Amino acid sequence: MDVNLETKNSMNTKVIDNYSTLKSYLFLVPLFLLSAIVVFLYSQNSLSVANYIAVQKDWFYSINSHYSQFPITIYNLTQIGDALIFLSLLSVLLLSVPKLWEALLSASIVSAIFSNVFKNVFAVPRPAASFDTKSFTIIGQTLTGHNSLPSGHSITVFTILTVLLFSFMPQKISSKLLWSFFIICTGLIIVFTRVGLGAHFPLDVITGSCLGVISGLAGIFITQKCKVWSWIANKKFYPVFMVLFLVCGIIIVNKIMHENLIVFYFALISLIVSLYQITYAYIKK
């Protein structure tokens, strides 16, 4: 057997094995954190929109002040919360770990539903619509809509990171702890850039992160129960991804023309490599 093919098969098998060991009680962790947020807000008499904003005003200003000292870095990092960018970066894993991508697609649908539904339900105004815009730092576009809670970028980041966390979870306890610590810290650094940019309140990103974990877990369990995405590994459907990668590449090139950010180049390079890989695999006899 070809060594590369064997390696790819073993990676996918590893992911499948990891998924098979997951238990539904994992949902209790993000649900507990969400409950803790509600209890905290209730204890502070902050379940109303106005009080929700007021209770975290000082946190917002503090985090915004510290993060905004690194404008270029956080503006690049925050782009990872764009599903197009994050999934483009992971496109190189499509052929080697199709099971991962099955979970990612299911999880992304769940996260999109969560984001749209809860933003409309809560209708919390953004910081720029709540405070004097001269009193804090805004990097990038000034967002003034009433859709602050939850943070959509945070949902996306933790949805994808949760799938990655359990897909490549090591076997040793010490390695599991290190891997989990790395994923969680990476996610928190990325999502709090939303506060640094002046786009969200702290609890927006924490709530979004919890919903992202739920979305990621849901995507994995849906993949386990339903085989709706099993066609991903079928070679005859590779042209679908060729077109998809090409379209995504064009969109990212357009982004580069408007905002010359290094993270966009990484995403574009990943798509180019992925397009080459899948085209070669498709035409190879």
Span 241-263, average pLDDT: 97
Tell me the pLDDT tens digit for each residue of 13-38.
999 999 999 999 999 999 999 999 99
Is the pLDDT at 10 greater than 90? The verdict is: no
**164 Cβ contact partners less than 8 Å away, ≥ 6 residues apart:** 90, 100, 183
Q: Biggest alpha carbon distance in the chain?
A: 67
Distance set, CA 171 to CA 109, 167, 185, 278 (Å) = 29, 12, 20, 30
pLDDT at 138: 97
pLDDT at 55: 97
- Taking the C-alpha atoms of residue 168 and residue 220, their distance in angstroms, rounded to an integer, is 13
| 26, two tokens | 């994992």
Residue closest to 201 by CA, chosen among 21, 37, 86:
37
- Taking the C-alpha atoms of residue 53 and residue 125, their distance in angstroms, rounded to an integer, is 9
pTM of the model: 0.95
Is the pLDDT at 6 greater than 50? The verdict is: no
**222 Cβ contact partners less than 8 Å away, ≥ 6 residues apart:** 103, 106, 107, 110
Tell me the pLDDT tens digit for each residue of 24-80.
999 999 999 999 999 999 999 999 999 999 999 999 999 999 999 999 999 999 999
Residue 138 has a CB neighbour count (10 Å cut-off) of 16
Tell me the pLDDT tens digit for each residue of 199-215.
999 999 999 999 999 99
Residue with structure tokens 């910081």?
Answer: 127
pLDDT at 4: 53
- Taking the C-alpha atoms of residue 9 and residue 30, their distance in angstroms, rounded to an integer, is 32
